[in-house]
């Protein structure tokens, strides 16, 4: 529109989400987003996961089976090793026990592999079912939000919640849920098995746990600032690239290519240096944790060897089993720690999703069952006050009456309130005070669907969808015949260029109509309004992107379209409104003067100044 909508200053400014960059698992862990209310968000997320009860139960059974098979493996390995003994310098092998243990291990490992495969399939299905339901609910709720909500939030951020945040939730459900359940069962089972072998060796194994957690926490704090700085620079670099690419024509027009390269290189070089430091410090974690794990092995092996020397009945197979169980005990703890990033990021993403779902949808309190066809088009604004930002009024007691079938033009400087009149009439926003009526019925009593179906609107900023020309024109009125579509295109003077396109009316339009000129896009939106056959017509700079010759061609069609319809025309080109029944000149949210073209010129006021500046070149 010609007048940008304003957003309240209280709205939180959302930073650009940095792209996926270097840093590895450690970097991901350190830059994990944290939710504001993790418990509440987790409860709601579990509610979505819990909707697939049978799938969740089957997954839990499989995880339990796989974990038990994994825990029983070292016991079979112990039996196989202890089947080989040395008695009086002679090697003795209990072949039946050895063979049965080996066969048992083969069957156990094969079964566990098969169950793990099925478990992976169920995990993926659970994740997709969960995010499908969440994405459906999110999109459904977003479609019911008022225009004011989307005006106050960055569109890129809303899209990010629909894509990136939902994807983070999907990854967490497919991986973290399985890992958390499996790790919990494995830790409990490993401790039980280790205690049945040797409580003393179990104690030695537990010594390294606080050590590993303390070292991990210390290194995380030490290296965190490097990864945070790295992600900030990455976000800055991504924003710079996006800005330069989107405005490349302007950059070239002003010869700023070298400046763009210089600025990019400066940020890129700093990112390189910070990334190297982050990598170096972050890579210390792996070797240190490996050292602690090896220390645990040494402690258990040393303790087991000592117990064997003291004749406690400890065997080589038992020591080997303890080593395996100690690994199964410590490995899940590290896994859970590594999932911290994914879990926190998923909860943060889920919280951002639920923030949209918790936003109040557009309220439609209208109960008047007036049919669209019966609306005549009388519009009345009575003492209407409105402000986008509290305390900064855009309309200051506006009074305006439009009779059915009248063509009213609204002109004025940018920010005078022209487009706000349209926003209030369409009920995109509600007035702070005053009343707006259509045919004597307050807008609050008319169902919004009835009101909006009775209004056709053509905006300065054209909106086309990635579909065929035919479908884009039909968007204004479904179920019409092909002849009606072509007639609408002829009225809008769009049929000529449409028929020259490769597939005519079935030609596919690219996203936002990028394969069309601005003028062609505008003509298609005009054809859409023609086909909609509205009772009230709003033209907001409808011919702003059309060249003068084309504009002259469509003036007749526009006049024909506006016959017997109430028309509101917002215009900067005063040549398009000279035949209006009434021209309303707005200034600072009120009507400064009103009348037809000749009357306003004779007054020598605001309109006369605008007209002379535009056509006569006379300075004011």
pLDDT digits (tens, 9 = 90+) for 207-221: 777 877 777 777 766
CA distance 467 to 409: 33
Q: What is the mean pLDDT of residues 548-555?
A: 66
Same domain, 307 and 394: no
Same domain, 418 and 546: yes
pLDDT digits (tens, 9 = 90+) for 326-382: 888 777 776 776 666 677 777 878 888 888 888 888 877 777 777 777 888 899 999
For residue 488, the number of C-alpha atoms closer than 13 Å in the C-beta half-sphere is 28
Considering 486, 503, 533, which residue would you say is the last residue of a domain? 533
Structure tokens at 4: 């940008």
Per-residue pLDDT, 303: 84
Q: What is the mean pLDDT of residues 107-127?
A: 89
Q: What is the mean pLDDT of residues 157-168?
A: 78
CATH number, residue 109: 1.20.1560.10
pLDDT of 383 > 90? The answer is yes
Per-residue pLDDT, 582: 92
Judge whether 602 and 562 are in contact, CB under 8 Å: no
CA distance 479 to 532: 11
The SS3 call for residue 539 is strand
pLDDT digits (tens, 9 = 90+) for 385-396: 999 888 888 999
Residue 165, in any domain of the structure:
yes
Residue 546, in any domain of the structure:
yes
Per-residue pLDDT, 17: 34
Residue 28, in any domain of the structure:
no
Residue 344, in any domain of the structure:
no
Same domain, 270 and 134: no
pLDDT of 552 > 60? The answer is yes
Same domain, 545 and 517: no
Residue 325, in any domain of the structure:
no
Return the bridge partners of 458, or none: 539
- The pLDDT > 90 percentage for the chain reads 8
Task: Show the domain range for 190.
Answer: 33-197+350-362
The three state secondary structure string of 440-476 is CEEHHHCCHHHHHHCEEEECCCCCCCCCEHHHHHHCC
- Residue labelled with tokens 């990112």: 271
Residue 335, in any domain of the structure:
no
pLDDT digits (tens, 9 = 90+) for 84-103: 777 767 777 778 888 888 89
Residue 3, in any domain of the structure:
no
Of 30-39, 552-561, 575-584, the range with the lowest mean pLDDT is: 30-39
Q: How many domains does the chain have?
A: 4
Structure tokens at 296: 């645990």
pLDDT band of residue 275 (cuts 50, 70, 90) is: confident
Same domain, 290 and 397: no
Q: What is the mean pLDDT of residues 448-458?
A: 85
Same domain, 169 and 209: no
- Residue labelled with tokens 């590290």: 334
End-to-end CA distance of the chain: 27
pLDDT band of residue 156 (cuts 50, 70, 90) is: low
Average pLDDT in the chain: 79
pLDDT band of residue 194 (cuts 50, 70, 90) is: confident
DSSP state of 605: S
Q: Where is pLDDT greater, at 160 or 569?
A: 569
Same domain, 60 and 190: yes
Residue 433: how many other CB atoms lie within 10 Å: 11
Same domain, 145 and 217: no
Per-residue pLDDT, 22: 35
Q: Where is pLDDT greater, at 501 or 23?
A: 501
Same domain, 141 and 67: yes
The SS3 call for residue 408 is strand
pLDDT band of residue 550 (cuts 50, 70, 90) is: low
Q: Where is pLDDT greater, at 593 or 522?
A: 593
pLDDT digits (tens, 9 = 90+) for 38-73: 788 888 888 888 888 888 899 889 989 998 888 888
Same domain, 393 and 431: yes
CATH number, residue 527: 3.40.50.300
Structure tokens at 394: 């855009």
Same domain, 254 and 355: no
pLDDT digits (tens, 9 = 90+) for 294-332: 787 788 888 888 888 777 777 888 888 888 888 887 777
CA distance 15 to 205: 45
Highest mean pLDDT (candidates 7-16, 41-50, 88-97, 500-509):
500-509
Return the bridge partners of 118, or none: none
Q: What is the mean pLDDT of residues 3-24?
A: 37
Considering 533, 566, 586, which residue would you say is the last residue of a domain? 533
CA distance 577 to 557: 14
Same domain, 237 and 211: yes
Q: Where is pLDDT greater, at 40 or 514?
A: 40
Residue 338, in any domain of the structure:
no
Per-residue pLDDT, 380: 93
Considering 500, 533, 566, which residue would you say is the last residue of a domain? 533
């Amino acid at each position: 529109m010609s007048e940008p909508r304003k957003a309240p200053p209280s709205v939180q400014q959302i930073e650009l989400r940095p792209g996926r960059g270097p840093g590895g698992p450690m970097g991901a862990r350190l830059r994990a987003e944290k939710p504001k209310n993790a418990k509440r968000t987790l409860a709601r997320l579990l509610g979505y996961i819990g909707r697939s009860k049978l799938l969740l139960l089957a997954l839990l059974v499989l995880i339990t089976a796989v974990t038990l098979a994994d825990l029983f493996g070292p016991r079979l390995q112990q039996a196989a090793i202890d089947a080989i003994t040395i008695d009086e310098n002679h090697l003795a092998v209990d072949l039946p026990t050895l063979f049965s243990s080996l066969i048992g291990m083969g069957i156990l490992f094969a079964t566990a592999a098969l169950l793990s495969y099925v478990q992976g399939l169920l995990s993926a299905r659970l994740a997709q079912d969960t995010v499908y339901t969440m994405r459906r609910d999110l999109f459904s709720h977003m479609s019911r939000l008022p225009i004011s909500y989307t005006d106050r939030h960055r569109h890129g951020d809303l899209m990010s919640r629909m894509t990136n945040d939902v994807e983070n939730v999907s990854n967490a459900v497919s991986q973290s849920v399985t890992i958390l359940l499996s790790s919990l069962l494995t830790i409990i089972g490993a401790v039980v098995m280790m205690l049945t072998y040797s409580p003393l060796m179990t104690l030695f194994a537990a010594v390294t746990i606080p050590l590993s957690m303390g070292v991990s926490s210390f290194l995380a704090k030490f290296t965190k600032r490097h990864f945070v700085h790295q992600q900030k620079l990455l976000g800055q670099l991504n924003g710079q690239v996006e800005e330069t690419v989107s405005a490349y024509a302007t950059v070239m027009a002003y010869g700023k290519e070298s400046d763009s390269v210089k600025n990019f290189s400066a940020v890129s070089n700093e990112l390189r240096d910070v990334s190297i430091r982050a990598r170096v410090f972050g890579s210390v974690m792996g070797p240190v944790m490996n050292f602690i794990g090896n220390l645990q092995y040494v402690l258990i092996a040393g303790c087991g060897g000592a117990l064997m020397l003291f004749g406690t009945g400890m065997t080589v197979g038992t020591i080997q089993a303890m080593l395996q169980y100690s690994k199964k005990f410590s490995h899940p703890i590290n896994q859970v720690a590594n999932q911290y990033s994914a879990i926190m990021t998923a909860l943060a993403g889920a919280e951002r999703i639920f923030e949209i779902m918790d936003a109040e949808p557009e309220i439609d309190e209208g109960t008047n069952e007036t049919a669209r066809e019966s609306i005549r088009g009388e519009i009345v604004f009575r003492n209407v006050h409105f402000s986008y930002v509290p305390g900064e009024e855009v309309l200051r007691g506006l009074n305006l009456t439009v009779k059915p079938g009248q063509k009213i033009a609204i002109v004025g400087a940018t920010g005078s309130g022209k487009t706000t009149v349209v926003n209030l009439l369409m009920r995109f926003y509600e007035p702070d005070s005053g009343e707006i009526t259509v045919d004597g019925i307050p807008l609050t009593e008319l169902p919004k669907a009835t009101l909006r179906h009775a209004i056709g609107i053509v905006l300065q900023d054209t909106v086309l969808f990635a579909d065929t020309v035919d479908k884009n024109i039909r968007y204004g009125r479904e179920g019409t015949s092909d002849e009606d579509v072509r007639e609408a295109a002829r009225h809008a003077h769009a049929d000529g260029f449409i028929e020259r396109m490769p597939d005519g009316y079935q030609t596919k339009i690219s996203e936002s109509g990028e394969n069309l000129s601005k003028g062609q896009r505008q003509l298609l939106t005009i054809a859409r309004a023609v086909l909609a056959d509205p009772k009230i017509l709003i033209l907001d700079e409808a011919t702003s992107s059309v060249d003068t010759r084309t504009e002259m061609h469509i003036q007749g069609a526009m006049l024909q379209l506006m016959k017997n319809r109430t028309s509101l025309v917002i215009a900067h080109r005063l040549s398009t409104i000279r035949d209006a029944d009434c021209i309303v000149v707005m200034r600072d949210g009120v009507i400064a003067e009103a009348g037809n073209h000749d009357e306003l010129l004779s007054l020598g006021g605001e309109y006369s100044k605008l007209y002379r500046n535009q056509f006569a070149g006379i300075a004011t």
